[in-house]
Amino acid sequence: MKDIITLGIESSCDETSVAVVKNGREVLSNVINSQINIHEKFGGVVPEIASRNHVEAISAVTKKALKDAGISFENIDNIACTYGPGLVGALLVGVSYAKALSYALNKPLTGTNHIEGHIAANYITHKDLKPPFICLIISGGHTHLVHIKDYDKFEILGKTRDDAIGEAFDKVARVIGLGYPGGPKVDKLAKEGKANIELPKTHVDGLDFSFSGVKTAIINMHHKNPDINKADLCASFEKYVTEILVNNAVKASKKLGINTIALAGGVSANSYIRENFIKLEKQGYKIYYPEPILCTDNAAMIASAGYYRFISGVTSELTLNAVPNLKIDNVTILD
């Protein structure tokens, strides 16, 4: 069978990324231009600044992705771009750029869901991974427990009722003065602490999540007692959220009779969360997670998800628009 080369384009938040992926699983290049330094001083992503920086970066990032992969535009079979969910102005840059390329090169365009991209990052790291499996997508914007029925069939089993888990990590980090983005900093500091601080449990029915209660409890504790041991606070927070993640994933696994659990998204780079999921392997679970560079936003994962859409016959028209609140099972089929 002929190889299929996908050009992936990601611009949903603060990373401008373009990648070249062969047959959905082999990364030929994955260029990521992060704006973290620009947004750091504001303590979070400023949407308009993100859009402007995507506009400035996208052509150079694309050129480099092609050069690193050793290919030219003619070698591309499909152009996959994130069209949601994300910041509308940021998404529009990647979507418009991908549409212009598709038109100029006369190559098919595949609008791709960012969350499906996070899931697909696992296909790149683990060549043996095939649906069905359960995936826990934990990132700055999402906390979803999803049944991956097939490459293009998803069922949401549970999601956060309030804050995304990454948002909670970032907020806790900011309040205790660790800076932005907080996740990696909490991860590091927690290793020096003990999980000895009692945090109030929030009861949530079914397989949903809630992180705003624990976030507020930590903010209040720190305000009341600014000398509280920050490392212990980080360790206690990580233990608290990890127990919820593991419990819900195990409940879902038992309910569906599927013992393969994959992690995805920026927070799945967290070492404590990983360690605790790996412990489940002793009980017969198969645990997968992407290599760190594929956990946070990148275009290789979008190219992989776009490849699976493309081979199942899904392509998008040049009327494709950004959909900031795109749902995971909302597939655009236009022909």
Per CB under 6 A, does 85 bind ligand KG4? no
Distances (CA, A) of 142 to 153, 160, 173, 332: 19, 8, 18, 21
Crossing angle of helices 271-278 and 182-190, in 10° steps, is: 60
H/E stretch holding 154 reads: strand 153-159
CA dist 143 and 165 (Å) reads: 6
- Token readout for 302 is 């979008």
Task: Return the range that interacts with ligand KG4 (CB under 6 A); candidates 20-28, 40-48, 61-69, 264-272.
Answer: 264-272
Per rule CB under 6 A, count of chain residues that contact ligand KG4: 19
Task: Return the range that interacts with ligand KG4 (CB under 6 A); candidates 177-185, 226-234, 279-287, 314-322.
Answer: 177-185
CB of 298 to ligand KG4, least distance (A): 8
> For residue 47, which of 16, 90, 92, 15 has the smallest C-alpha distance?
90
Per CB under 6 A, does 187 bind ligand KG4? yes
Specify the residue, 69 or 168, whose C-beta has the smaller distance to ligand KG4: 168
Amino acid at 192: E
Question: Is the Cα torsion angle 265, 267, 270, 276 positive or negative in sign?
Answer: negative
Specify the residue, 139 or 253, whose C-beta has the smaller distance to Zn ion: 139
CA 3 from centre of chain = 27
Per CB under 6 A, does 122 bind ligand KG4? no
CA dist 310 and 78 (Å) reads: 8
Question: Which three-class secondary structure state does DSSP give residue 20?
Answer: strand
- Judged by beta carbon distances under 5 to 8 A according to partner kind, the member of ligand KG4, Zn ion, none in contact with residue 169 is ligand KG4
Per CB under 6 A, does 163 bind ligand KG4? no
Specify the residue, 108 or 184, whose C-beta has the smaller distance to ligand KG4: 184
Q: Which residues bind Zn ion (CB under 5 A)?
A: 139, 297
Per CB under 6 A, does 290 bind ligand KG4? no
Distances (CA, A) of 94 to 265, 316, 320: 20, 14, 11
Interface pick for ligand KG4 out of 89, 265, 290, 306 (rule CB under 6 A): 265
CB of 221 to Zn ion, least distance (A): 29
- Residue numbers of the site for ligand KG4 (CB under 6 A)? 13, 139-141, 166, 169-170, 181-184, 187, 265-267, 269-270, 296-297
